[in-house]
Amino acid sequence: MSAFIRKKILFYFIFLFSFSVFSQIKPFTNNDAKNEKKELEFFSLQTKRFILPNSQDKKNLEKAHYKELRKMRKKHKKKIKKFQKKIQDRPTKKKMRKTKRYSRRANKNRPKYPSLWQKIWWGITFWK
């Protein structure tokens, strides 16, 4: 067999193969995109498989999802209750403000807007 015939046969097989591959490829239309979206909607990460619409599997999955949500809400409520119990022992905001105001050594009856010299004097007495 000559090299020319071998080349012809090789070219023929390549042409057949490429034709069969390209004939299977369809042009991508908008309808295909919609179908893909629908398929992806029913794909669950939990089961890792496709679920047909309106099937029993889909309903079961939804039930499981709602059960998980309920569990989360219950946990959250428990946390809030614990936090509220902690808060009940604390003083109210008004009490907190009063304690902050008179926490330093300065006199309780000090003027509302002290002068610069008074501020300096209180600073010195405070740092002693």
Contact between 114 and 122 (Cβ < 8 Å): yes
Contact between 61 and 51 (Cβ < 8 Å): yes
Half-sphere CA count of 19, side-chain side, radius 13 A:
6
pLDDT in the model for residue 11: 80
Given the structure tokens 């890792």, which residue do they identify? 48
Q: DSSP string spanning 4-44?
A: HHHHHHHHHHHHHHHHHHHHHPPPP-HHHHHHHHHHHHTEE
pLDDT in the model for residue 37: 57
The model's pTM is 0.24
6 pLDDT band, cuts 50/70/90, is confident
Summarize the confidence of residues 72-99 as an average pLDDT. Answer: 70
Tell me the per-residue pLDDT of 19-75, one tens digit each, with 9 for 90 and over: 666 666 655 555 665 565 555 555 544 455 555 556 666 677 777 777 887 888 888
